[in-house]
Each structure stands twice: as C-alpha cells, then as structure tokens.
Amino acid sequence: MSDFNPKIVAFVCNWCTYAGADLTGTSRMKYSPQVSIIRFPCTGRIDFMLLLKAFANGADGIIVSGCHPNDCHYSSGNFHARRRWIVFRGLLDFLGIDVRRVRFSWVSAAEGAKWAQLVNDTAEHVRQLGPFSGYHRLRGLGVG
C-alpha cells in the first residue's frame, strides 16, 4: 500500500479555500502532491455529479472546501452547498459508496496552514483506504 499514490481532486471556492491555498504557497508550506485543485466561484456552484465524475475517471479521494458558514462571499452559497452535501452524502453512504473518501471542509483565505493539514491528512487517509478499485471497476462502454 505504501507505494500507492492516491489521486485526489479538490473542488474549492475562489474566495476562501483557493485563496487559502494560495497563502499556503506564499508561506512555502509543503504538502503532498496528490491533490489538484479545480476552481469554482462558490461551493454553491459545485454540482454533486462532478464528484461522481471524478470517481468515475480515476479519483481515489475528493476534497470539497469553501468559506465558513456566514462568511460566504456571496452570502449564502455555502449554506445551499451544505444542505446538498448532507443529502448527497447520506445517499452515497446508503448505496455503499465509501464516503470516507470525500472530505468536506471549511477553509478560509487566512487558513493556509489548515489547507496544508487538510491535504496531508486526506492524502494519508485515502492512502490507507487504498485505490478506489470498487468504484473504478464499474465501467462500461464510452465512459467519460
């Protein structure tokens, strides 16, 4: 398992977590290279289907992160996202999809250290869980 390098996609909001990750960089804090970021204006924009697409295309783990409640740049996008994740996570879990592979977090623009910690923790955690072969095995014709 130790030579398994998990692929982790991070869906983050521009105003908080993306900026927080920028701060991690500016502060030269080091973290695992397993995680790559995709930028959204707000966590409210993150469609749940994108998470399934990430897993279907080989991701072993996912991070979803945005502004803390009450701090959303658009005032309520993260509140809508929260409701969405509460329901979606419950459904995935019910279907036997390991929700430990999806890490939800609030990381603000000032929390560079928290971002580094989050990435390292998630990478290690997913490394322990191993490749998401159970999901990756679900394939078929013309998958994309």
Partner 1 sequence: MARIGVFICHCGENISATVDVKKVAAAASRIPGVAHSVEYKYMCSDPGQQMIKNAVREKNLTGVVVAACSPRMHEPTFRRACAEAGLNPFLCEMANIREHCSWVHEKSDATTNKAIDIVRTLVAKVKKNKALLPIKVPVTKTALVLGGGIAGIQASLDIANAGHKVILVEKQPSIGGHMSQLSETFPTLDCSQCILTPRMVEVAQHPNITLHSYSELESLDGFIGNFKARIRKKARSLDEKLCTGCGLCTQKCPTRKIASEFDAGLGLRPAIYVPFPQAVPNKPVIDREHCTYYLKGKCRLCEKICPTQAIRFDQEDEILEVEVGAVVLATGFDIKHGDFFPEYGYGKYKDVIDGLQFERLASASGPTLGEMRRPSDGRVPETVVFVACAGSRDPAKGIEYCSKICCMYTAKHAMLYKHKVHHGRPYVFYMDIRAGGKMYEEFVRRAQEVDGVQYIRGRVSRIYERGGKLVVKGADTLLGARPMEIEADMVVLATAGVANAGAEELAQKVHVSYDPYYFYSEAHPKLRPVETNTAGIFLAGACQAPKDIPESVAQASGAAAKVAGLFSQSELVREPLIAVVDRQAPPLYSTCVGCFLCQAACPYQAIEKEEIRGRDGRLIKTVAKVNPGLCQGCGTCVALCRSKSIDIQGFSHEQVYAEVLALLNRGESDV
Partner 2 sequence: METLRDKARELLAARTVQVIIGYGQGSGGGARAVFVREAADADALIFNEACRQNLAVYLMKPEVRKLGKAALVATPSALRTILQLAAENQVGDHDLLALAVHAAGEVTLLATLQAIEAHVTELDADLSAAEKAELRKYEALSLEQRREYWQEQFSRCLKCYACRAACPLCYCSRCTVECNQPQWIPVPAHDLGNLEWNVMRAMHLAGRCVNCGDCSRACPVAIPLYLLNQKLISDVFANFNARSGMAAKTDNAMSIFKPDDSEDFIR
Nearest distance, CB of residue 10 and partner 2, angstroms: 14
Size of the chain in residues: 144
Using an 8 Å Cβ cutoff, are 71 and 16 in contact? yes
| Residue from 3, 94, 84 nearest 49 by CA | 84
Exposure string (b/e) for 27-48, b if CB count within 10 Å is 16 or more? eeeebbebbebeebebbbbbeb
Identify the H or E element spanning 8. strand 8-13
Of 6, 16, 40, 101, the residue at the interface with partner 1 (CB under 8 A) is 40
**Residues in contact with partner 2, total (CB under 8 A)?**
39
26, interface contact from partner 1, partner 2, none, CB < 5-8 Å by kind:
partner 1
Residues 21-60: x where in contact with partner 2 by CB under 8 A, - otherwise, as a string: ---------------------------xx--x---x----
88 counts as binding partner 2 under rule CB under 8 A: yes
Q: Does 93 bind partner 1 (CB under 8 A)?
A: no
